[in-house]
């Protein structure tokens, strides 16, 4: 088992390396740089100025290791071997420096932008994933145990519906119904307009025992409640969407388990039906669910681009699309690498957990 | 009284049944699947309605009437003009006509993308399965690599970047965004099918009819195209059907975010994006119809795909 883990770790690192190459090449082959807007807004800016700015950001160096002939003020300087932009970036990334934003917040480290949004995304995705699992597992099990009943058909139909509904439609309809027509929830954003702080700041204050955000003293509870009101609709949309897939998955898994011989043995032994289902069936049916849980980790930190856009939720998904729209490649690079890293290692985690939980599986 | 042997043995001739092919059997099984039939009917209606858009649509999809924005359903048109069945949008364009025209684009994109994905995925999968060794490993590792990339952000990035290449703009003209989105969805869509086909090829490889073809002098490509792929069609069909629904959602999502098909060409995702900007009291009616069409189409496709999966299941007697 240890050799398996070590081997997979090495493979993961190599895979991550290749993925980073691919990401970097895709993002850097396209025309466009951080100073395009500058050129448009200031017609007196000549090409030599742009060249100098690009040289400051190391953007005139070659992509891969190769010849580099710098041009300082029109005078050709001796060519030298340069490590290339990719290796320079990679070197900084493994030290934790993801570069600096070009257009979203020029000069700010990418990590700072990500760190600011992380809390909101984890809140949104955490609550929805948790609720989705909490609801999907019992419903899926119930549906499997009572197969062919009316409830089963209803659940399967709802699951089908949920998987066929695009989240942007569900989100907009939810806003139209619950926000506009019924007025129960706000239409978007994270806080009431003009409010002092939002839920993340309030939670930060609580967890730091009052050291952060002193201006929120006494207002933590109202900020949290306000934040919960704002997060309710996106959570509903995401939970429904996730639930639809997971209910079907749990149901299929449970159906397979129910057909097994050991279930029949358990009943023949005279155990109560509830014990049979919960102790023998559920345990085995939940094994594939571990894979699902592990694979939802990248989503936890990556956010939901579409839902966050509709509800103006300031999370990682919104950061992603804002950066792409704003041609802010360092931020996009950083986000993509983080997501790829999370995906690769959560895959590894899923496989390891699978082996831990199921003694029948042995990796050699 | 004993009868003669000949009389006893006078058997009735066996009823002659028409031989049913494997596809006929599968079709019969599909017919019994209610949901799948519902899906098939829904899909046919939608496709026919959209294909016949120029005939069915009361208005042209670009026709504006700025005096009547956000008209509710069944608003009568200007005198002498047909009724606006689903009302109008922000610029006074008839929503029903736009939905039908948008459907043509969305369905066409989905169809072409699925078709190309099936071709590319099958060829790569069959190649990997039949060669084994380094080519197999290389292709499958490449597929794994692409699967590790976060899809949606890269779809957005590629879509916005490819748009900037002037050469492409000149070459494709107004079809640029449609071509870009097909290409981009193809790049990230072939992996699932290739894995499927590879699995099927691996299990077919050892069978006798393949060795016989080889012995008779069949070339590698003949084995792939005339024998391996046709025998793998069942899972390919199921995957293609379900993938069709996925492509519709992806294309709508990209168009909704502004990175897919560009206005004024209507597509269901586009129309939802326009609906986002509607004043709040009209939000419900504006978002209901385009999204409903996406939902119904994908639902129909999912029903059909589920039914096909059961009908074509090789584990049941075929």
> Tens digit of pLDDT per residue, chain A (364 long)?
788 888 888 988 988 999 988 888 888 877 777 777 777 777 787 777 777 777 777 777 777 777 777 766 666 677 777 777 888 888 888 888 888 888 888 778 888 888 888 889 999 999 999 999 999 988 988 888 888 888 888 888 888 899 899 989 999 999 888 888 888 888 888 877 777 777 777 777 777 777 777 777 777 788 888 888 888 999 999 999 999 989 988 888 888 888 888 888 888 888 888 877 788 888 888 888 888 888 888 888 888 889 999 998 888 999 999 988 888 888 998 999 999 999 988 988 888 888 887 777 776 5
ipTM of the shown complex: 0.83
3-state per-residue secondary structure call for chain B = CCCCHHHHCCCCCCCCCCCCCHHHHHHHHHHCCHHHHHHHHHHHHHHHHHHCHHHHCCCCCCCCCCCCCCCCCCECCCCCCCCECCCECCCCCEHHHHHHHHHHHHHHHHHHHHHHHHHHHHHHHHHHHHHCHHHHHHHHHHHHHHHHCCHHHHHHHHHHHHCCCHHHHHHHHHHHHHHHHHHHHHHCCHHHHHHHHHHHHHHHHCCHHHHHHHHCCCCHHHHHHHHHHHHCHHHHHHHHHHHHHHHHHHHHHHHHHCCCCCCCCCCHHHHHHHHHCCCHHHHHHHHHHHHHHHHHHHHHHHHHHHHHHHHCCCCCCC
Interface contact flag, A19 B257, Cβ < 8 Å:
no
* pTM (predicted TM-score): 0.85
Optimal mutation site among A36, A324, A348, interface B, most CBs of chain B within 10 A: A324
Give the sign of the dihedral formed by CA A129, CA A135, CA A138, CA A141. Answer: negative
Partner residue opposite A172 with nearest CB, options B164, B257, B283: B283
User: pLDDT, tens digit, for every residue of B87-139?
Assistant: 888 888 888 888 888 998 899 999 999 999 999 999 899 888 888 788 888 89
What's the Cα-to-Cα distance from A107 to each of A45, A102, A324, rounded to whole Å?
Answer: 20, 7, 17
Partner-chain contact A172 B276, CB within 8 Å: yes
Whole-angstrom Cα distance, residue A303 to residue A120? 9
Residue A331 vs residue B62, higher pLDDT: A331
Query: What integer pLDDT is reported at residue A199 of this predicted model?
Result: 78
Cβ B69 vs Cβ B87: under 8 Å: no
- Looking at residue A81, the DSSP 8-state letter turns out to be E
Query: Could you tell me which of A318, A339, A323 has the C-alpha nearest to residue B160?
Result: A323
Q: What is the DSSP letter of A95?
A: T
pLDDT in tens, A182-240: 888 888 888 777 777 777 777 777 777 777 777 777 777 888 888 888 889 999 999 99
pLDDT given at position A73: 62
**Cis preceding linkage at A24, omega within 30:** no
- Cα–Cα distance between B254 and A312 in angstroms, integer? 18
Closest to A35 in 3D by CA, of A56, A19, A66, A14 = A56
- Residue B100 phi/psi, 5° resolution? -65, -45
Please state, in angstroms and rounded to a whole number, the distance separating the CA atoms of residues A265 and A278: 15
Residues above pLDDT 90, as percent of chain A: 11
Q: How far is B157 from chain A (nearest CA, A)?
A: 6
CB contact under 8 A, A172 and B291: yes
Q: Is A230:A184 a contact under the CB 8 Å cutoff?
A: no
What's the gap in Å between the CA of A176 and the closest CA on chain B? Answer: 5
- CA A96, A102, A107, A108 dihedral sign is negative
B18 versus A138: the higher-pLDDT residue is A138
A to B CB pairs, distance under 8 Å: 118
Which residue from B154, B257, B299 is facing A161, i.e. has the nearest CB? B299
A256, A281 contact by CB (below 8 A)? no
- The pLDDT confidence band at residue B202, using thresholds 50, 70 and 90, is confident
Phi-psi region of A96 (alpha: psi -120 to 50; beta: other; left: phi over 0): left
Q: CB–CB of A309/A317 below 8 Å? A: yes
Count of H-run helices and E-run strands, chain A: 17, 4
- pLDDT tens sequence across A26-38: 888 777 777 777 7
């Amino acid at each position: 088992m240890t050799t398996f883990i070590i081997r997979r770790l090495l493979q993961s690192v190599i895979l991550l390396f290749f993925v980073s190459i691919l990401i970097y090449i895709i993002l850097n082959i396209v025309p466009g740089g951080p100073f395009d807007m500058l050129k448009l807004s200031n017609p007196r800016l000549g090409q030599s100025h742009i060249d100098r700015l690009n040289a400051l950001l190391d953007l005139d160096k070659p992509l891969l290791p190769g010849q580099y002939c710098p041009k300082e003020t029109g005078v050709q300087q001796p060519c030298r071997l340069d490590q290339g932009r990719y290796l320079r970036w990679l070197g900084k990334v493994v030290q934790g420096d993801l570069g600096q934003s070009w257009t979203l917040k020029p000069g700010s480290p990418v990590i700072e932008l990500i760190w600011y949004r992380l809390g909101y995304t984890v809140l949104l995705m955490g609550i929805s994933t948790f609720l989705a699992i909490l609801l999907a597992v019992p419903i899926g099990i119930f549906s499997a145990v009572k197969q062919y009943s009316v409830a089963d058909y209803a659940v399967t139909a709802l699951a089908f519906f949920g998987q066929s509904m695009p989240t942007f439609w569900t989100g907009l309809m939810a806003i139209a119904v619950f926000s506009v027509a019924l007025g129960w929830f706000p239409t978007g954003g994270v806080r009431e307009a003009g409010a002092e702080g939002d839920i993340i700041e309030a939670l930060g204050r609580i967890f730091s025992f009052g050291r952060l955000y002193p201006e929120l003293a006494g207002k933590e509870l109202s900020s949290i409640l306000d934040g919960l009101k704002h997060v309710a609709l996106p959570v509903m949309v995401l939970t429904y969407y996730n639930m639809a897939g997971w209910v079907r998955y749990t149901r299929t898994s449970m159906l397979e388990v129910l057909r097994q011989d050991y279930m029949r043995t358990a009943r023949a032994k005279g155990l109560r039906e509830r014990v049979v289902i919960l102790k023998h069936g559920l345990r085995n049916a939940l094994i594939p669910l571990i894979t699902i849980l592990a694979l939802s980790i990248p989503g936890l930190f990556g956010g939901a681009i579409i839902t966050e856009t509709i509800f103006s939720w300031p999370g990682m998904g919104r950061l992603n699309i804002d950066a792409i729209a704003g041609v802010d490649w360092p931020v996009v690079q950083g986000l993509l690498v983080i997501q790829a890293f999370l995906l690769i290692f959560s895959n590894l985690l899923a496989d390891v957990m699978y082996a831990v939980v199921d003694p029948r599986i042995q990796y050699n | 009284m004993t009868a003669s042997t000949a009389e006893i043995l006078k058997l009735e001739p066996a009823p002659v049944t028409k031989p049913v092919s494997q596809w006929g059997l599968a079709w019969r099984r599909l017919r019994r699947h209610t949901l799948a039939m519902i899906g098939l009917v829904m899909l046919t209606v939608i496709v026919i309605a959209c294909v016949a858009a120029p005939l069915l649509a009361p208005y042209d999809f670009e026709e504006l009437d700025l005096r009547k924005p956000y008209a509710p359903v069944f608003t009568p048109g200007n005198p002498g003009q047909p009724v606006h069945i689903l009302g109008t949008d922000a610029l006074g364009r008839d929503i029903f006509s736009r939905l039908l025209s948008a459907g043509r684009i969305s369905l066409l994109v989905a169809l072409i993308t699925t078709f190309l994905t099936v071709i590319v995925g099958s060829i790569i999968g069959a190649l990997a399965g039949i060669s084994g060794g380094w080519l197999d490993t290389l292709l499958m590792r490449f597929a794994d690599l692409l699967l590790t990339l976060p899809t949606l952000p890269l779809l957005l990035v590629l879509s916005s970047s490819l748009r900037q290449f002037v050469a492409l703009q000149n070459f494709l003209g107004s079809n640029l965004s449609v071509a870009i989105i097909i290409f981009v969805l193809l790049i990230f869509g072939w992996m699932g099918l290739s894995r499927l086909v590879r699995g099927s090829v691996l299990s077919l490889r050892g069978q006798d009819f393949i060795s016989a073809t080889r012995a008779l002098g069949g070339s590698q490509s003949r084995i792939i195209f005339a024998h391996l792929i046709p025998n793998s069609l069942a899972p390919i069909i199921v995957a293609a059907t379900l993938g069709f629904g996925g492509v519709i959602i992806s294309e709508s999502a990209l168009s909704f975010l502004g990175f897919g098909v560009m206005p004024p060409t209507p597509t269901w995702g586009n129309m939802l994006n326009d609906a986002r900007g509607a004043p709040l009291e009209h939000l419900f009616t504006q978002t209901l119809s385009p999204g409903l069409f996406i939902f119904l189409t994908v639902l129909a496709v999912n029903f059909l795909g589920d039914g096909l999966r059961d009908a074509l299941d090789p584990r049941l007697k075929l």
